[in-house]
Amino acid sequence: MSMQDWAEKDFYAVLGVAHDADAAEIKKAYRKKARTLHPDANPGDAAAELRFKEVGEAYAVLSDPEQRRQYDGVRAMVGGGARFSSGGSGPAGGAGFEDLLGGLFGQGGGRAPGGVRFGTPGGAPGGGFEDLLGGLFGQAGGGAGFPGGFPGAGQQAPPQRGQDLEASARVSFRDALDGKTVSLRVPDPRGGPVRTVNARLPQGVRDGQKVRLRGKGMPGPGGTAGDLLVTVQVEPHPVFRRDGDDLRMTLPVSFDEAVLGATVEVPTLDGTTVRVKVPAGTPSGRSLRLKGRGVQRSRSGDDRGDLFVTVEVVVPQRVDGAAREAVEAFARATAGDDPRAGLADRARS
């Protein structure tokens, strides 16, 4: 790492500590950030990997008392980030930034003394930079969890988990309740060929639910494959609608059935019908409960929700002849009944 890098990078800000922080504070801040940004905790996240390296650079300098003293001197001289270039009219008579500061610490060529060191004893108590990382992530003698040192320094990165992928599946209302195997075409985000993945959706899957298919995502570089997250879209049913583990439907009945009462046939989800008694005087909107005719909660079939049947009185669009005379006779017979009695008073309350 060059002196120019030292001048431009605020290692205290990278670690989130004050400029007068002691060694213990610096070490604590580094361990916290390294644990959060470590590649093992952020597989496939390039931004986190870059931040992890920046945190490592900052700690390597600030944990070494001598390098920290020299770094503070460089930052103080250039005001925390000024930039010099060769050929300028700066105080060095056209010399480059590193040449200008090279003699400050007795270093030929202007390179920062020691640079960023990995795997060598550092200034932090209790061992070098890699020893600290090794203890942090359970790796003896390894750099940041990489056996034998950091990738890029003659070492091979450990196996990594593959990337998770997302897909959607549209299924019928009945298939969602019964469970179904669907074929999904999954694109490769790296531009590879589209794959076909067969997935078994669980029984009773709901609209909008995400199903995680383990190992069906992108293959990992030497490691396990990622997962495939499938968002399920359930098509509406023409008769039934789901309410948790219960089913609901609307049951049309005639005027006379609602007034006088009747026993009617009601369809169920399994294709059969059941006979349901509509009590006399049943108004529109009243729900009748059919126990155990709802969603099957377990594969045994013994535990089911209920079916709620909402009565809807059907009014004929046209009435002629005897039917009309009968309705008119009914109107005369019930002329004293006001279905809107008290409505205006309740509206004003």
Q: Which helix (H) or strand (E) holds 35?
A: helix 23-37
Enter the pTM of the model: 0.51
**151 strand-pairing partners:** 155
Domain(s) of CATH 2.60.260.20: residues in the chain: 165-234, 245-333
* DSSP 8-state class, residue 41: G
- 117-126, 131-140, 154-163: least confidently modelled range: 117-126
Q: Which helix (H) or strand (E) holds 250?
A: strand 246-253
- 27-36, 48-57, 128-137, 273-282: least confidently modelled range: 128-137
Q: Answer whether 288's CB lies under 8 Å from 279's CB.
A: no
**Cα–Cα nearest to 56, from 147, 151, 157:** 151
Domain(s) of CATH 1.10.287.110: residues in the chain: 3-136
Per-residue pLDDT band for 94 (boundaries 50, 70, 90) equals: very low
Check residue 338 and give its pLDDT: 87
- Which CATH class, in words, describes the domain spanning 165-234? mainly beta
SS (H, E, C) 178-231: HCEEEEEEECCCCCCCCEEEEEEECCCCCCCCEEEECCCCCCCCECCCCCEEEE
Q: Does residue 253 register a pLDDT over 90?
A: yes
Q: Does CATH number 2.60.260.20 belong to domain 245-333?
A: yes
Per-residue pLDDT band for 197 (boundaries 50, 70, 90) equals: confident
Q: Does residue 84 register a pLDDT over 60?
A: no
Q: Answer whether 312's CB lies under 8 Å from 284's CB.
A: yes
Distance CA 6, CA 64 (A): 14
Averaged pLDDT of the chain: 78
The percent of residues above 70 in pLDDT, for the chain, comes to: 75
- Which CATH class, in words, describes the domain spanning 3-136? mainly alpha
Q: Work out whether strand 241-243 and strand 180-186 pair parallel, antiparallel, or are unpaired.
A: unpaired
Per-residue pLDDT band for 220 (boundaries 50, 70, 90) equals: confident
CA 214 to chain centroid, in Å, comes to 16
**Cα–Cα nearest to 60, from 71, 44, 49, 50:** 71
**Cα–Cα nearest to 160, from 39, 241, 273, 269:** 39
